Chains A and B, each alone.
Chain A
Amino acid sequence: MPQTLKEVDVVVIGVGFAGSILAKELAASGLTVVGLERGHSRHSVPDFQAPAIHDELKYSIRKGMMQDVTREAMTFRNHYREVALPMRQWEAFLPGTGLGGCGVHWNGQAWRYHEEEFVYKTHIEQRYGKKILDPDLRIQDWGVTYQELEPYYDRFEYLLGVCGKAGNLNGKIEPGGNALEAPRSREYPNPPMKEQYSGALFRKAAVDLGYHPFLQPSANMTRPYTNPEGMTLNPCAYCGFCERYGCEHFAKASPQTVILPVLMKNPNFELRTESQVLKINLDSTGKKATGVSYMDAQGREFEQPASLVLLTAFALNDVRMLLLSGIGKPYDPATETGVVGRNYAYQTQSYVPTFLGEDVHLNSYMAGGASGTVIDDFSVDNFDHSALGFIGGCYVLCGSTNARPVEFHPTPPGTPRWGSKWKDAVRRHYNHTAIFNLSGTSTSMRGNYLDLDPTYRDAWGLPLLRITFDFPDNDVRMSRFVTHKASEIARQMGAKVVVDSPRTGPFTTTSYQSTHNTGGAVIGADPSTSVANRYCQSWDVPNVFVVGACNYPQNSSYNPTLTLGALIYWTADALKTRYLKRPGPLV
């Protein structure tokens, strides 16, 4: 018999960036807030200290910081005609767990999206006409504009201490930054990262070819920084153990380094870790949440009543929670009815391995998580697609985030997979090879969606999330085009061998690409094609807000986190200034 706990004002499901910030804002407004985190508590000291944290096998290969796949996996298939099977190990993407969530082990790559992306459908149809869209594509407007989100981007950037150089300050193009970026109201809080050797070589080649390189914006600090919450961060040591690892230096912007200590000091807030939320409970009308049910580490079940439920458990888990709780109509691709699980998208990654020869010592193991040199000339809709027959694009980045040898030991094409020739090639190319990283748009498609698996269950007996996904042909054509352009830059760098490696289908779960899973609980102006309104408030259950990359109708070229930060503060504002004054639908 579940024990019913004392009611609180707010329950937050998942204490990562979204959960921490929303909890802090609401607790500071005087509300009682409980944060339920299924993972463990962890902190910069002792949990992220070196040298123990620099353990490639533990964290990169055995996925030490990731969601416990033995208890809570997901199933996958490329097409809905196939039978989905469990992803029995994490490979293609790595959902996190634990206090701080993915904010602990991300790379700190901090991008704003472009203005037109928030009105992507309107923009594309106006610029190119509907005919450019393959019939199965499903792009949508967000219901909120870049201009509305700009102050919240700013706020999140200053919370994190993002390091970069403004390229467009209130419409004025600034030298040294990204001339193609959306206008920003003020400069970055900190100057850009130091440039790697591979990035410097790329920069010269890119300029030679008429492109506009710049240092990518970074949430790993370039100098000591104290944020508006009074948290001080240290400069990054470029240790090459950023993604998949916690930061020993308090240099990576994570909930632990930018906000959690402030939250933990507020007596209005209570953190409960190792608390697995099973579902959001609804009243008999099905239109009001009464709180959540969760299980603790001892297997005891609790009901936590609350007036407001914030679902901030990472994109994929958010969608699953809505489905498990019966909030919103599940999407059916056959009939194209329903909304929960609709518009699932990903990231269209491709690479250009660039072998520079043994006299070029790149030292790629010296790396920040976000210290690459990049061009924006081929991102999203920054170039004219009229004659190209596809939409979308990639940013092209050169610069390593690591050269950890189990993961990184490139060999040129034609090298055997093993044996003495392989070994010799590894030795000869390890410190002399750059890998361009192209991060491409992922266009939502009718057949790509999320729902609950009919067969496989988690350790609590609940259905796993089922992912049905493959790359739309549009994105494959896009990848071929941009990767080819990137290869030209590589050749311009004087590389001995350049491997033009665009993304081709089918999407496979067996090799890592990106953990930018988006969509499934999209926001929008139209309840028939969105799960939440522009304030991330569920259309169906107004006292449930879902805030995550699941809100995105399609995915951009850019990493999603900074845009999520803007949505977090935007939602916090809506909650504090409007919802709490008059609970109910905000739209």
Chain B
Amino acid sequence: MSDGPNSNSRRNFLRSSLVLISTATLAGEAPALLGNPRAEETHRFLNESERRFLLAAVDRLIPADERWPGAAEAGVVNYIDLQMAGAWGRGEIMYRHGPFRKGTPTQGYQLEYTPAELFRRSILAINAHFASPAKSFDQLPSEEKDAYLSSLEKGDIDLDGVPSNTFFDFLLQHTVEGFFSDPIYGGNKNKIAWKMIGFPGAYADYHDLIDKHGVEFHREPLSIADGPGYHSMTSTTGGK
């Protein structure tokens, strides 16, 4: 099905001579290489206590390990900050007319809060649960953080009108988005998440490779920002 008459030998060449293109991508990138997560912070929406909570929370949702950084190092909190400051956070990609009523699980999100309001209200309530700033969520040992997040996840806690599982699902969803989306949105710093799984990114012509079954394809992932035509800094609008 390939163009040239020598497609078989091409396939053999590829198999025999080229498996890895970059050993660095396989070995992992030590978390320290991404720098201090507190450096290069964006400050469009989140206040200090919100940011402190989120850094600690996303760090448990997608932790760092010896080989690969986690959500905190990857800039996921910046992602959340920018998203909440933009159209998505403001509720401009949701139908927001009332009346607001509690629905069945199959009817999805029905609260009157925009995503930004949901985050703000929930985190305020969470921070209020802890006795004092000296004992805030971020200062708990890891196991206790995980236990608290699990109870949020189960819906055991009322967050000032927000069912905690609704907030938790939002938080987890945004963490995964921030980790895996294009770095132009503030997360996935240095495309670390893409390197971890082997996703090549925004340049994607596989016409000649798709039928080279089983070949190990390793390429430094490319972001939209790697295109010479891309001029903006991190994007706040989340797409709209």
Q: Give me the interface of A with B, judged by CB distance under 8 Å.
A: 50-52, 54-59, 61-64, 69-70, 73, 76-78, 82-83, 85-89, 91, 194-197, 200, 235-241, 360-361, 363, 365-368, 371, 403-406, 409, 417-420, 422-424, 426-427, 430-431, 455-457, 506-510
Contacts and interface: CB of A to CB of B under 8 A. Distances in A.
A61 B181 CA distance: 10
By Cβ-Cβ distance, the 8 closest A-B pairs, closest first, are A58-B239, A62-B239, A366-B206, A73-B95, A51-B202, A239-B204, A405-B180, A197-B213
B70 interface: yes
B224 A238 contact: no
Contacts of B197: 405, 409, 426-427, 430-431
A403 B199 contact: yes
- Which residue of A88, A237, A368, A455 has the most chain B CB atoms within 10 A of its CB atom? A88
A51 B227 contact: yes
Nearest to B88: A62
7 contacts: A52-B229, A197-B214, A363-B215, A365-B204, A406-B176, A418-B172, A424-B65
A427 B210 contact: no
B238 A58 contact: yes
A366 B219 CA distance: 13
A423 B68 contact: yes
B132 to A, nearest CB: 28
A57 B97 contact: no
A63 B1 CA distance: 35
| Chain B binding surface SS class | loop
A366 B109 contact: no
A164 B41 CA distance: 52
B141 interface: no
B73 to A, nearest CB: 12
Contacts of A371: 210
B238 A62 contact: yes
- Which residue of A91, A241, A406 has the most chain B CB atoms within 10 A of its CB atom? A406
Contacts of A508: 105-106, 108
- Which residue of A70, A86, A456 has the most chain B CB atoms within 10 A of its CB atom? A86
A77 B104 CA distance: 9
Contact of B109 (A70, A76, A89, A507): A89
A546 B206 CA distance: 40
Contact of A419 (B146, B209, B211, B223): B146
A420 B65 contact: yes
B200 A365 contact: yes
- Which residue of B95, B209, B215 has the most chain A CB atoms within 10 A of its CB atom? B95
Interface in B223-240: 223-224, 226-227, 229-230, 238-240
Interface in B59-92: 60-63, 65, 68, 70, 88, 92
A504 B186 CA distance: 38
Nearest to A239: B204
Given A59-B239, A62-B88, A457-B97, A406 B107 contact: no
- Which residue of A55, A194, A418, A506 has the most chain B CB atoms within 10 A of its CB atom? A418
A422 B175 CA distance: 13
| Chain A binding surface SS class | loop
A249 to B, nearest CB: 9
B196 interface: yes
Contacts of B203: 50-51, 54
Contacts of A423: 62-63, 65, 68, 70
Contacts of B200: 365
Nearest to A360: B214
Given A83-B101, A237-B204, A196 B210 contact: yes
A455 B99 contact: yes
B185 interface: yes
A55 B182 contact: yes
B232 to A, nearest CB: 11
B107 A77 contact: yes
Contacts of B239: 55, 57-59, 61-62, 64
B240 A62 contact: yes
Interface string B178-213: 001110110000000110111111111111011101
Given A62-B239, A78-B104, A367 B210 contact: yes
Contacts of A510: 105-106, 108
Contacts of A59: 239
A422 B199 CA distance: 18
Given A50-B204, A89-B108, A409-B180, A430 B62 contact: no
Nearest to B91: A70
A311 B93 CA distance: 27
A237 B206 contact: yes
A363 B217 contact: yes
